[in-house]
Amino acid sequence: MIRGPLAAAVAAACILSALPAHAETFPARPVHLLSPFPAGSGPDAVSRMIGDRLGRDWNQPVIVDARPGGNGFIAMEATRRSPATGYELGIADVGHLAINPSLFKKLPYDPVKDYVPVTGLYRTAFFVVVSSHSPIKSIPALLSAAKAGPNVVSYGSWAVGSPGHLGAAQLEAATGTQMLHAPFKDTAQLYTAVANGEVTWALGSYATAGPLILAGKLRVLAVADHKRSIALPEVPTIEEAGGPRGIEASTWVALLAPAGTPPERVSAIGRAVREALDTPEVKAKMATFGFVPAGSTGEQVSEWMRKDTPRYADMVKRTGATIN
């Protein structure tokens, strides 16, 4: 029989070996954030900002792994297939989680079953923008031009079925107008086309349309939200500007973990991210993009999905924007 200090050491080793793997101090190695957004985009910048803060707090690198393309499927699939340990997390927005289920006839992932929402990251509303040289200088003027006849007015978006496309479709439905939709490959092409007068107007966040707004090439008519934006507080809502009530075009971005990730680890990561979002440093940087830190729990993100999925499904049906 083993006695004394040796017995105590053996007992301690047995206890430690019996503990589950996720009982280790987290994180004990680098954490990866798998992102569907291209490097340099607003969501990418926020992901890196938060990753940098978490890296300092955790004393471990937090690496943003940008995997754009494929309608977000590449990054979403990578997240879905990652080990459920908390070391590989995913970034996703309203399109990936609430629009794609009705937009695509065959989706390679299940937004509800394949992931665990960890926390919300931020929300941002879209502005109605026209060329600074456009004769249209107000929302009533835009709607008056649209009512002149079908497809007299055109609007652009960064993709069929995107929040920008479906948000514009809301305005069409609310005003009984029919405008011509022109999808572009990316936001840079889109807002350049608006500035050049190739399309009449578009919806855009301050992060994407902001550079051309600041350069004086785009005119902002209103914000498509129920309240004004922190980015441009002097800009009225569509309703305040003389348009219909209830037009809300916005996006939200959340952090996900693969399904099966231990709940206590999901909770710990969520708390750490929300603490990072609440720091003055991160708040100030996010405000430069017009982003409002969400600071929402995983349960609240699930509620966003439950609320927005049927709402966007209705818009997809109205536009006939289904993609094979």
Q: How far apart are CA 275 and CA 153, in angstroms?
A: 45
Same domain for 67 and 110? yes
Task: Fill in the DSSP letter of residue 60.
Answer: S
Name the residue with tokens 């006839």: 105
User: What pLDDT score was predicted for residue 16?
Assistant: 41
In this structure, is residue 138 part of a structural domain? yes
74 and 36 in contact (C-beta within 8 Å)?
yes
In this structure, is residue 153 part of a structural domain? yes
In this structure, is residue 8 part of a structural domain? no
In this structure, is residue 288 part of a structural domain? yes
Q: How far apart are CA 55 and CA 63, in angstroms?
A: 9
250 and 225 in contact (C-beta within 8 Å)?
yes
Same domain for 79 and 107? yes
Name the residue with tokens 């007015």: 153
- pLDDT tens figures, 17-51: 444 444 568 999 999 999 998 887 888 888 999 99
Q: How far apart are CA 161 and CA 99, in angstroms?
A: 7
Under the banding of pLDDT at 50, 70 and 90, the label for residue 8 is very low
Where are the alpha helices (H) located in the chain, listed in sequence order? Answer: 4-18, 42-58, 73-81, 94, 100-103, 139-146, 163-175, 187-195, 206-214, 263-277, 280-287, 298-319
Edge-first strand listing for the sheet containing 250-258: 62-66, 31-35, 88-93, 250-258, 115-125, 292-293
Is it the case that residue 9 has pLDDT exceeding 70? Answer: no
- Give the residue from 76, 95, 89 showing the smallest Cα distance to 50: 89
Q: How far apart are CA 38 and CA 69, in angstroms?
A: 8
Same domain for 290 and 217? no
pTM (2 d.p.): 0.84
Q: How far apart are CA 48 and CA 94, in angstroms?
A: 19
Same domain for 118 and 257? yes
Dihedrals φ, ψ of 25, to 5°? -65, 125
- pLDDT tens figures, 169-216: 999 999 999 999 999 988 889 999 999 999 999 999 998 899 999 999
In this structure, is residue 116 part of a structural domain? yes
At which of 248, 273, 304 does a domain end?
Answer: 248
Same domain for 296 and 235? no
At which of 248, 267, 297 does a domain end?
Answer: 248
In this structure, is residue 163 part of a structural domain? yes
In this structure, is residue 297 part of a structural domain? yes
Q: Domain limits at 258?
A: 28-123+251-319
3 state DSSP class of 24 = coil
Average pLDDT for 250-275: 96
In this structure, is residue 19 part of a structural domain? no
Same domain for 278 and 233? no
Q: How far apart are CA 22 and CA 86, in angstroms?
A: 9
User: What pLDDT score was predicted for residue 5?
Assistant: 46
Say how many domains are in the chain.
2
- Give the residue from 200, 158, 154 showing the smallest Cα distance to 177: 154
Structure tokens at 185: 């490959």
Same domain for 97 and 149? no
Same domain for 240 and 158? yes
Name the residue with tokens 């309608």: 71
Expressed in percent and rounded to 5, the helix, strand and coil fractions of the chain are 45, 20, 35
Q: What CATH number is given to the structural domain containing 145? A: 3.40.190.10
3 state DSSP class of 73 = helix
Same domain for 167 and 269? no
At which of 225, 248, 271 does a domain end?
Answer: 248
User: What pLDDT score was predicted for residue 23?
Assistant: 54
Q: How far apart are CA 34 and CA 66, in angstroms?
A: 6
Q: What CATH number is given to the structural domain containing 33? A: 3.40.190.150
Same domain for 52 and 134? no
Same domain for 263 and 116? yes
- pLDDT tens figures, 150-164: 999 999 999 899 999
The residue length of the chain stands at 324
Same domain for 133 and 241? yes
- Sign of torsion over alpha carbons 171, 173, 179, 184: positive
**154, containing H or E segment:** strand 154-157
In this structure, which amino acid lies at residue 146?
Answer: A
312 and 99 in contact (C-beta within 8 Å)?
yes
